[in-house]
Chain A
Amino acid sequence: MATTDSDSATASQRLDKDTRETIVTVVRHTILLTWSFIVLFPLYWLASMSLKPPGTANSLPPDWIFLPTVYNYIQLIQDSGFVAAFANSLVMVSASVVLVLLIGVPAAYVLSRYDIPMERDVLVWILSSRMLPPIAVVLPFFIIFRELNLFDTRIGMVLMYVSINLSLVVWVMKAFFDGIPETLEEAARVDGATQFQGFRKVVLPAAKPGIFSVAIISFIFAWIELLFGLVLTSFEAVPVTLFVYSFIGSRSIEWGMLAAASTAMIVPVVIFLIAVNKYLAAGLSFGVVIKE
Chain B
Amino acid sequence: MAKITIDDVTKRFGEGDKSIVAVDDVSLDIRDGEFIVFVGPSGSGKSTLMRIVAGLETQSEGDIRIGEKVVNQLGPRARDIAMVFQNYALYPNMTVEENMSFGLKMSTDMSADEIEDAVTSAAEMMDIDMLLDDKPGELSGGQQQRVALGRAIVRDPNVFLMDEPLSNLDAKLRAEMRTEINRLQNDLDVTTLYVTHDQTEAMTMGDRLVVLNYGELQQVGTPLECFYRPANQFVAGFLGSPSMNFFEGKVEGGTLRADGFDFDLTERMQSAVGSRNELVLGIRPEDMTLHDRANLGHEFEAVVDVVEPMGSISYVYLQARSQSHDQTFIVETDGQRPISEGQHVYVEIPDRDVHLFDPASGETIHQRQLGDDAEMALEEQMKPAE
Q: Which of B103, B106, B107 has the largest number of chain A CB atoms within 10 A?
A: B106
Q: With contacts A190-B77, A190-B83, A191-B155 known, is A184 near B89, CB below 8 A?
A: yes
Bound-state Cα–Cα, A202 to B77, Å: 15
Across-interface contacts of A187 in B (CB, < 8 A): 83, 85, 89-91
CB of B92 within 8 Å of the partner chain: yes
Inter-chain CA distance A193–B102, complex, in Å, is: 9
Contact B93 A191 (CB under 8 A): no
A interface, by DSSP: helix, strand, loop or mixed?
Answer: helix
Indicate if A289 sits at the interface (CB-CB under 8 A).
yes
Chain B residues with Cβ below 8 Å from A192 are 77, 103, 106-108
Q: Is B370 an interface residue (CB 8 A)?
A: no
Contact of A186 among B56, B82, B92, B155 (CB under 8 A): B56
B289 at the interface (CB under 8 A from A): no
Give residues 158-206 of A contacting B (CB, 8 Å): 181, 183-184, 186-194, 197, 201-202, 205-206
Q: Is the CB–CB distance between B92 and A290 below 8 Å? A: yes
Q: Quick check: A181 and B87 within 8 Å, CB to CB?
A: yes
**A186 and B89: CB pair below 8 A?**
yes
Q: Which residues of B contact A290 (CB under 8 A)?
A: 92, 137
In the complex, chain A residues whose CB is within 8 Å of the CB of B90? 187
Q: Is the CB of A197 within 8 A of B83?
A: no
CB contacts (< 8 Å) of B82 on chain A: these are 190-191
Closest to A194 in B: B77
B93 touches A186 (CB 8 A): no
Cβ contact of A190, chosen from B54, B86, B93, cutoff 8 A:
B54
- Note all chain B residues with C-beta closer than 8 A to A197: 106
- Identify which of residues 145-173 in chain B touch chain A, using a CB-to-CB cut-off of 8 Å: 151, 155, 161
**Binary per-residue interface labels of chain A (205-232) against chain B in the complex, 1 for a CB within 8 Å, 0 otherwise:** 1101000000000000000000000000
Q: Which residue of A lies closest to B84 (CB)?
A: A187
Chain A, residue nearest B79 (CB): A190
Q: Give chain A interface residues in 276-292, CB to chain B under 8 Å.
A: 289-290, 292
Task: Tell me, rounded to whole Å, the shortest Cβ–Cβ distance linking A207 to chain B.
Answer: 9
Q: A181-B87, A183-B85, A194-B77 are in contact. Are A189 and B93 (CB under 8 A)?
A: no
Chain B residues within 8 Å of A, Cβ to Cβ: 54-56, 75-77, 81-83, 85-87, 89-94, 102-103, 106-108, 137, 151, 155, 161
What are 10 A-B contacts with C-beta separation under 8 Å? A188-B102, A188-B106, A191-B107, A192-B108, A193-B102, A193-B106, A194-B77, A202-B93, A206-B92, A206-B93
Closest 10 CB pairs of A and B: A192-B107, A191-B103, A192-B106, A205-B93, A187-B89, A183-B89, A192-B77, A190-B83, A190-B76, A189-B76
